[in-house]
C-alpha cells in the first residue's frame, strides 16, 4: 500500500523535539484570515520560474522513444540514422554505458531497468535523444529503428485471472495473495439484519493531468548533479537520483521552487528524471526533458480502476450490522497494489461491528498507478456512499439521518483508538442546514423532461495529520523583517502563504516583510514531500516553533534591559512590553543586544503526534443536479463542502482547495476514463484532450460553498489537519446519489455520461430497468 502508507506518519522517537512550549492558539489575528498568496504577483505576472521555464546556456533538449505496443520485446535497435541527424548530440539505449540502471519504482518488483528490452506497457521507455532543439530531438527519436517481438497482452483487469490470460510477470497475474480484513462475525451480522442489499460498483481509471507536465532540467558540474524538477518534494528527488547514479546525497542538488500542479504523481522520481540526468552526463551539457501531453496520458501515473462488490446489512432503526466488500483492481504492469486502500472507509467510516473486506490485485499491460488525491478513498466512496443511500431508501430513512445514526468515535480499523476529534456529525448537520437539504428533498418534483435531485456523501481521509520530521528556520532581523527557511514544496496550494502567516502571527511581522526560502536541497532544511494533505499539519508546527524560538530569545534580551522577568514579558506589535507594569516596554529594534547581533535565528521542529489517538479529517458534501431525461445530460447546479479539517489557516486557500477538489471529483464521476482496446491492439484509444474528457468551466457549478468545522483539535501545536484530499473523496457518489434522487436510476459505473444515463432511462421507461 505504498500509495497510502507514504502518507501515514508513524512516531519517530529520534526526531528532534520542539524547542519551545506552545500552547494551542485561542484567538488569532493573522491565521485564519482570507489572505491572498504571498507569491500571487509572481504567479500571475509570469515572474515565477517553473522548472519547464528554466533555460541554461548550452542547454540541449531531450526526447524519449517509447514502445508503441502494450507488450513486446525489443529484438534490435539501430540508432545510426538518429545519430547522424542535425543537432543531435547523444542517443542512448539499454546498451549505452551507464544506462543499465536498476529501476525500483515498483513496490513489488525490482527486476526492471531504466531501458528494459521487455516492454510491459504502451509507453515504456526504449531509447532517448538529446539535441539542440526539441524538434531535432523528436525527429531523431522517431528515426531510431526498433524491431519488436509483439507479445500477447492483458489490459482488462477483470480478465487478468482467467486461465487463458497472457501473463505480465512470472507465472501468474496475481501480484500477491488476497488481502483480508475482518472483525466481528460477518455471517451473524447479516442474519441479524432486517435489510440486506448487494451491488457491484465499477470506477474507471483516472489519469494525472497537471497543467505543467512531468520533467526536469539536469546539469552536471564535475561529479555533482543539479536538477530543476517539477516535483512535490525535492528531497525524494535528491535521494532517487543519488541512488540511480551512485552519488552521495551531498552531490545531488534538487530545486523545485514552483510546480504547475501535482496531485501525487510527482512525489518521487520518474524514468524521465534519470534519463535527463544521464543524457546531460554523457553530453556534458545541460538537458531539459519534459514529457508531452500524450506521454502523460500513458506513463506517469493514474488512479486505478477498481471493481467493488459490496454487501450491507441494516436494521430497521438504521443500525448498520454488517459490511462485506470484495475488490479487484490493477496498478498496471509494475505496481502490485491496484486496490490499495479502496476498502478503508468500509472498515472505518461508519460504526459497524461486523466487517469483512477482501482485496485482489493483478498486473495488466498498462502504465503504473501513482498516488492521486486520496489514493483508494474515492473508489471506496463511490461504492460505500451509494450503498448508504440505497439502504436508507430500503428502510425509509433520510440518507443524512442514516449516516448520523452510525458515526464512530474510535478508529475501528486501528485498534479502536479514539479520534482526536470526530467532526463527521457536525459536517452532516451543519452542511445539511446550510445547503437547505430538507427543503430541497421535500420540493415538489418538476413537470417536463428536466428533473432536479439532491445528493449527499461523507468521508474520512486516513491520513491528513502529518508528523515529524520537519525543521524550519526563522531569521528575525533587527529592522523587524523576517526570513523563513523550509524545505517543503508549495505545489500550488498556498503553503508559503500559510507558513508566512504563522510567522506573522507569532512575531507580529507584516506578511510583506517576510521572505521565504524553500524547496532546494542545497539551501533549505529537510522536508518530506508535499502530499497526502499533510504539508500544513506537518510544517506549520515546525514553523511556529522556530518563530517562538525567535520570540523567546528577544524577550530574554529585553528582560535584561527592562529589568523585568522574562515570564512577565510579551512581544506584540513590534515591541516587548510588561504584562505587569505598562510603563515597561521597548521597541524590538531598540533592544541593544538585538541591535548588536543584527539577527536572531530560531530553529523549530515538528513534534510527534499523540500515540493514543488517531487524527483524520472528516467531511460531508452535498450537491444538486438537473437531469435532462430526453438526452441523459446531467448538469451540476451547486455543491457544498462541509469539512472538519481542524483550524482553518487561510480561509482563501481553504476555500480554493474545496473548489479544486470538487472539480477533480466531478471529472472522476462524470467525464474521465482511460479506454484501452482490449480486443485487438491493447493500446489506449483516447490519448488526447479531445477524447479524454477533463472537466471544463462549463462542467463545474459556479455555486460552490464551504462550511468550516473547527472542533479545536490539539493533536499538534497549530490545530491544522489536511483539506486537499478529503474534498475529492465524496464528490462523485454525491452526484450519483443526486441523479438517483432526480430520476430514480442508479448509476453504479463511472462515468455518469449522457450515453449511459439515456440508455438506463429508456430501459426504465420500457420497464426493463
Residues that are catalytic: 725
Q: The sheet that has 355-362: what strands, in order across it?
A: 179-183, 355-362, 320-330, 306-314, 195-203
DSSP H/E element including 39 = none
Report how far apart the first and last C-alpha atoms of the chain are (Å, whole number): 38
Separation between Cα atoms, residue 465 and residue 415, nearest integer Å: 18
For residues 361 and 369, give the distance between their C-alpha atoms in angstroms, rounded to a whole number: 12
Pairwise CA distance, residues 688 & 585, whole Å: 65
Q: Using DSSP, state whether 500 is helix, strand or coil.
A: helix
**Whose CA is closest to 216, among 56, 107, 421, 355?**
56
Edge-to-edge strand ranges of the sheet holding 585-587: 569-572, 575-578, 585-587
3-state SS, 249-316, equals HHHEEEECCCCCCCCCCCCCCCHHHHHHHHHHHHHCCCEEEECCHHHHHHHCCEECCEEEEEEEEECC
Q: Please tell me the distance from the alpha carbon of residue 555 to that of residue 577, in angstroms, as a whole number.
A: 9
- How far, CA to CA in Å, does 53 sit from each of 46, 295, 443, 560? 10, 19, 53, 52
Using an 8 Å Cβ cutoff, are 299 and 123 in contact?
yes
For residues 264, 267, 269 and 271, what is the CA-based torsion angle, rounded to 10 degrees?
Answer: 0
User: Rounded to an integer, what is the distance from CA 538 to the centroid of its chain?
Assistant: 15
**Grid coordinates given for 611:** 500515540
Which of 303, 305, 323 lies closest to 313 in space, CA to CA?
323
Which candidate, 392, 27, 31, 51, places its Cα nearest to that of 214?
Answer: 51
Instruction: Answer whether 43's CB lies under 8 Å from 37's CB.
Output: yes
Residue reference for cell 457549478: 701
Which neighbouring-strand residues pair with 183?
Answer: 355
Amino acid at each position: 500500500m505504498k500509495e497510502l502508507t507514504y502518507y501515514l506518519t508513524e512516531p519517530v522517537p529520534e526526531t528532534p523535539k520542539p524547542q519551545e512550549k506552545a500552547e494551542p492558539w485561542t484567538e488569532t489575528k493573522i491565521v485564519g484570515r482570507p489572505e491572498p498568496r504571498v507569491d500571487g504577483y509572481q504567479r500571475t505576472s509570469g515572474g515565477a520560474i517553473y522548472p519547464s521555464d528554466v533555460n541554461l546556456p548550452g542547454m540541449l533538449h531531450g526526447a524519449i522513444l517509447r514502445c508503441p505496443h502494450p507488450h513486446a520485446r525489443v529484438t534490435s535497435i539501430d540508432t545510426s540514422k538518429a545519430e547522424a541527424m542535425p543537432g543531435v548530440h547523444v542517443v542512448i539505449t539499454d546498451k549505452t554505458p551507464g544506462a543499465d540502471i536498476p529501476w525500483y519504482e515498483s513496490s513489488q518488483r525490482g527486476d526492471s531497468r531504466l531501458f528494459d528490452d521487455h516492454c510491459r506497457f504502451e509507453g515504456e521507455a526504449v531509447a532517448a535523444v538529446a539535441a539542440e532543439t526539441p524538434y531535432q530531438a523528436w525527429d531523431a527519436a522517431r528515426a531510431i529503428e526498433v524491431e519488436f517481438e509483439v507479445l500477447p497482452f492483458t489490459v482488462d483487469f477483470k480478465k487478468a485471472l482467467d486461465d487463458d490470460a497472457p501473463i505480465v510477470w512470472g507465472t501468474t497475474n496475481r501480484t500477491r495473495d488476497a488481502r483480508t480484513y475482518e472483525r466481528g462475525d460477518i455471517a451473524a451480522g447479516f442474519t441479524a439484519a432486517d435489510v440486506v442489499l448487494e451491488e457491484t460498483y465499477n470506477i474507471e481509471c483516472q489519469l494525472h493531468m497537471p497543467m505543467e507536465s512531468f520533467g526536469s532540467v539536469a546539469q552536471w558540474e564535475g561529479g555533482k548533479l543539479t536538477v530543476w524538477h517539477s516535483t512535490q518534494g525535492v528531497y525524494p528527488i535528491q535521494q532517487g537520483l543519488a541512488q540511480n547514479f551512485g552519488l552521495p546525497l551531498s552531490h545531488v542538488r534538487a530545486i523545485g521552487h514552483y510546480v504547475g500542479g501535482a496531485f501525487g504523481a510527482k512525489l518521487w522520481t520518474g524514468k524521465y528524471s534519470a534519463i535527463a540526468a544521464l543524457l546531460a552526463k554523457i553530453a556534458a551539457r545541460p538537458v531539459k526533458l519534459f514529457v508531452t501531453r500524450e506521454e502523460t496520458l500513458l506513463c506517469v501515473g493514474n488512479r486505478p480502476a477498481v471493481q467493488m462488490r459490496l454487501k450491507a446489512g441494516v436494521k430497521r432503526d438504521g443500525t448498520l450490522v454488517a459490511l462485506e466488500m470484495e475488490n479487484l483492481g490493477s496498478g498496471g504492469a509494475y505496481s502490485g497494489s491496484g486496490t490499495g486502500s479502496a476498502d478503508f472507509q468500509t472498515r472505518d467510516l461508519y460504526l459497524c461491528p461486523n466487517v469483512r473486506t477482501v482485496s485482489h490485485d493483478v498486473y495488466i499491460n498498462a502504465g503504473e498507478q501513482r498516488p492521486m488525491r486520496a489514493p483508494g478513498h474515492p473508489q471506496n466512496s463511490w461504492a460505500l456512499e451509494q450503498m448508504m443511500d440505497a439502504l436508507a431508501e430500503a428502510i425509509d430513512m433520510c440518507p443524512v439521518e442514516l449516516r448520523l445514526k452510525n458515526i464512530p468515535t474510535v478508529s475501528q480499523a486501528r485498534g479502536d483508538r479514539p479520534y482526536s476529534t470526530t467532526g463527521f456529525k457536525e459536517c452532516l448537520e451543519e452542511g445539511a442546514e446550510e445547503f437547505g437539504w430538507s427543503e430541497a428533498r421535500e420540493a415538489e418534483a418538476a413537470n417536463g423532461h428536466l428533473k432536479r435531485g439532491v445528493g449527499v456523501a461523507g468521508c474520512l481521509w486516513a491520513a491528513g495529520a502529518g508528523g515529524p520530521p520537519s525543521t524550519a528556520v526563522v531569521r528575525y532581523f533587527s529592522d523587524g523583517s523576517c526570513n523563513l527557511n523550509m524545505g517543503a514544496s508549495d505545489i500550488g496550494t498556498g503553503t508559503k502563504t500559510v507558513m508566512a502567516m504563522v510567522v506573522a502571527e507569532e512575531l507580529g511581522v507584516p506578511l510583506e516583510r517576510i521572505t521565504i526560502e524553500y524547496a532546494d536541497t542545497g539551501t533549505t532544511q529537510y522536508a518530506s514531500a508535499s502530499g497526502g494533505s499533510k504539508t500544513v499539519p506537518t510544517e506549520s508546527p515546525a514553523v511556529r516553533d522556530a518563530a517562538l524560538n525567535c520570540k523567546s530569545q528577544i524577550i530574554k534580551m529585553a528582560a535584561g534591559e527592562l529589568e523585568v522577568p522574562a515570564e512577565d514579558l510579551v512581544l506584540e506589535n513590534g515591541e516587548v512590553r510588561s504584562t505587569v507594569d505598562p510603563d515597561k516596554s521597548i521597541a524590538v529594534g531598540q533592544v541593544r543586544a538585538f541591535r548588536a547581533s543584527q539577527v536572531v535565528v530560531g530553529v523549530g521542529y515538528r513534534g510527534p503526534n499523540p500515540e493514543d489517538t488517531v487524527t483524520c479529517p472528516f467531511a460531508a458534501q452535498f450537491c444538486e443536479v438537473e437531469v435532462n431525461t430526453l438526452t441523459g445530460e446531467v448538469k451540476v447546479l451547486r455543491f457544498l463542502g462541509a469539512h472538519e479539517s481542524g483550524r482553518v489557516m487561510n480561509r482563501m486557500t481553504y476555500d480554493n482547495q474545496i473548489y479544486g477538489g470538487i472539480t477533480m471529483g466531478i471529472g472522476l464521476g462524470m467525464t474521465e476514463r482511460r479506454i484501452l482496446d482490449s480486443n485487438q491492439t491493447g493500446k489506449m484509444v483516447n490519448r488526447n484532450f479531445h477524447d479524454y474528457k477533463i472537466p471544463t468551466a462549463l462542467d463545474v457549478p459556479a455555486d460552490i460553498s464551504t462550511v468550516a468545522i473547527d472542533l479545536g483539535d490539539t493533536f499538534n501545536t497549530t490545530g491544522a489537519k489536511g483539506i486537499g484530499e478529503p474534498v475529492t473523496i465524496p464528490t462523485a457518489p454525491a452526484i450519483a446519489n443526486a441523479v438517483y434522487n432526480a430520476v430514480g436510476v442508479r448509476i453504479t459505473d463511472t462515468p455518469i455520461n449522457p450515453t449511459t444515463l439515456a440508455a438506463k432511462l429508456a430501459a426504465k421507461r420500457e420497464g426493463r430497468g
